[in-house]
Amino acid sequence: MTDPSRVLPVDPLAFIRSCVQERKLLWTYHVQMRLEGRSVPRAAVLDLADAQVIESYPDDKYLPSYLVLTRHSGVVFHILFAVDVPGSNVRVVTTYRPDPTEWESDFRTRRHVP
């Protein structure tokens, strides 16, 4: 039997954008604790005009999730969204400014550790 929470959106970015635009998003405890410490404004999470999915984790622990790259006020951010298609919402799991030592200059590709 298929787990109903494992439903993947046909277009993950469109689903995420729609949920964010309609404010059908939940802020996890983890992201609440990290936003201020990482100097990430909530507006960066809500500004997905320039967003792109750079990694997908369909088998993530609780819900399928997607790592999204976006820019806000000229700054690059990564946001991990867990998607709840049956519940028609997304959860903001974490967000951060990508470390240039861990990501290629496009911030879309992880550097390979030798």
- Give the per-residue pLDDT at 2: 57
* Residues sharing a CB contact under 8 Å with residue 35, sequence separation 6 or more, in sequence order: 41, 42, 95
41-60 confidence digits (pLDDT tens):
888 889 898 999 999 999 99
11-48 confidence digits (pLDDT tens):
999 999 999 999 999 988 778 777 777 777 888 889 89
Domains in the chain: boundaries: 4-96
- Give the per-residue pLDDT at 35: 72
> pTM surpassing 0.85?
yes
60-102 confidence digits (pLDDT tens):
999 999 999 999 999 999 999 999 999 999 999 998 999 999 9
What top-level class would CATH report for the domain 4-96?
alpha beta
| Residue 46 vs residues 10, 20, 50, 52: alpha-carbon distances, Å | 21, 6, 11, 14
